[in-house]
Amino acid sequence: MEKSAARSSIESTTESAAAAAEMALSASPAPRLRELPIVFTASGSEYFRIWAVNLLLILMSGGLYLPFAKQRRIRYFYANTLIEGEALAFHGDSWRMFRGFVIVVALMAVYSLTSNFSPAVAIPAFLLLCAVWPAMWRAAMQFRLGNTSWRGLRFGFHGSLAGAYRAFLPIYVPALLVTALTPDDPKAPLSWQTGLYYLAMAASILMLPWATALMRRYQHQNFSLAGERSGLSLNTRAIYFIGWKTLWLTVGLFIVTLMLTFVLGGLLALATSGKIDAPGNGQLYGLIWLGLTYLLGGSVVLAYHASRVQNLVWTNTKSASLSFESTLTGLPWLTLKNWVLIVLTLGLYRPFAVVATVRLRLHSVRIETRTDPESWQAQPTTAMQDASGEVAGDFFGVDVGL
């Protein structure tokens, strides 16, 4: 009896201790979030000197200095991007970027030559360029991130080749249909081919938000740093909602552009010819219309869409211990100001505009971590050496890296 009572007492004590430990664990506070502040220290005057030298060398070399200029630009911006007081670093080799540049130039030259001599041959060349673009886009992110480090830790990108092509399907399928269904004579009477052509055109526009969502998921679900793998919870409907608001903004700016065109055109017509409807004033109205459309459409509309997408995507990007928040505002008005000053200074304000834009976008992002960066350890990785996609982004007017 005494042994049985002792055993029961021991079991009861063990259960009580286990229950107490479980309650203490459940009651323990969650890991405290620690902010990693982002500070951008570049200045327009410093970057102006780099930009001017790069531009001069690009012109003197007939464009061959472009990849070396891009390396200098990336290193300057990275060295002035401080996360918790530690700067980013870029380790990309400029000669590998130059070899990628040669490949892209060769592809563009083939397409340009074939389009001049034979439009029938130009179509396969263009399709070839479209076929390799997703692979180059993926290679660009692998190269940029694989050669970027913070506190000695290399970033990485793990997106698959198949995933890159899936992200472009909503763009490529309607585009191929549009190419195949293009009527030989635009003035010909309506036919089933013409109807399908316009349906394919509409589909290509309606699928752009879907393609944007697929591309952002592909990017933000495959970033890595020190064993941390990013993830993105993104609803495609949210991208379509941003597109819907952008459409209404476009309609509003279209009306504003019409009004400004008549006002400015009328004033200039009166100043030059003394009559609003004098012969030749139509070209004046047309030039004002094109200028305002390019200025307001490119600065306000595109910048508004870009800022809303950045806020949506980065706020929903997380990893096991990292979370992000983006509250970017004011980008359309900053872009409009930059464009006006670039035109007034004949392009000399561009480096100042770039610095101001990067500063606004970076300072709008907030990074929080649940772990101490001092405890992060480098993972065995191999830096991506294919730089063809990295340089290809310049030809299409986009920066495809981070």
Q: Is 167 left (phi over 0), alpha (psi -120 to 50) or beta?
A: alpha
pLDDT attached to residue 265: 80
The pTM score is 0.81
Max mean pLDDT range (18-22, 106-110, 206-210): 206-210
CA distance 229 to 322: 9
pLDDT attached to residue 269: 75
Q: Is 148 helix (H, G, I), strand (E, B) or coil?
A: strand
CA 63 to chain centroid: 24
Region of poorest pLDDT, from 202-216, 239-253, 288-302, 315-329: 288-302
Residue 363 has pLDDT above 90, yes or no: yes
Q: Is 242 helix (H, G, I), strand (E, B) or coil?
A: helix
The interaxial angle of helices 119-146 and 388-395, nearest 10 deg, is 120
Q: Please report the DSSP string for 9-23 in residue order.
A: HHHHHHHHHHHHHHH
Say which residue the tokens 């065995």 belong to.
Answer: 380
pLDDT grade for 278, boundaries at 50, 70 and 90:
low
Mean pLDDT over each residue of the chain, to the nearest integer: 82
Number of helices followed by number of strands (H, E) in the chain: 14, 12
Residue 19 has pLDDT above 80, yes or no: no
The dihedral sign for the CA sequence 61, 66, 67, 68: positive
pLDDT attached to residue 401: 34
Region of poorest pLDDT, from 5-14, 168-177, 296-305, 343-352: 5-14
Residue 16 has pLDDT above 60, yes or no: no
Residue 138 has pLDDT above 60, yes or no: yes
Pairing between strand 322-326 and 365-369? Answer: antiparallel
Residue 149, beta-bridge partner list: 89, 154
Report which DSSP code applies to 35: E
Residue 10 has pLDDT above 50, yes or no: no
Residue type, 275: K
CA dihedral 209, 214, 219, 220 (to 10 degrees): 90
pLDDT grade for 122, boundaries at 50, 70 and 90:
low
pLDDT attached to residue 329: 94
> Average pLDDT, stretch 278-289?
77
pLDDT attached to residue 396: 41
Residue 369, beta-bridge partner list: 34, 322
Supply angle C-alpha 333, 233, 321, rounded to 5.
Answer: 95
Residue 97 has pLDDT above 60, yes or no: yes
Report which DSSP code applies to 208: H
> Average pLDDT, stretch 243-258?
93
Tokens coding 215: 């591309």
CA distance 75 to 60: 22
In the chain, what are the domain boundaries?
Answer: 42-155, 158-206, 234-380
Tokens coding 331: 């980008």
- 97, 387 Cβ separation under 8 angstroms: yes
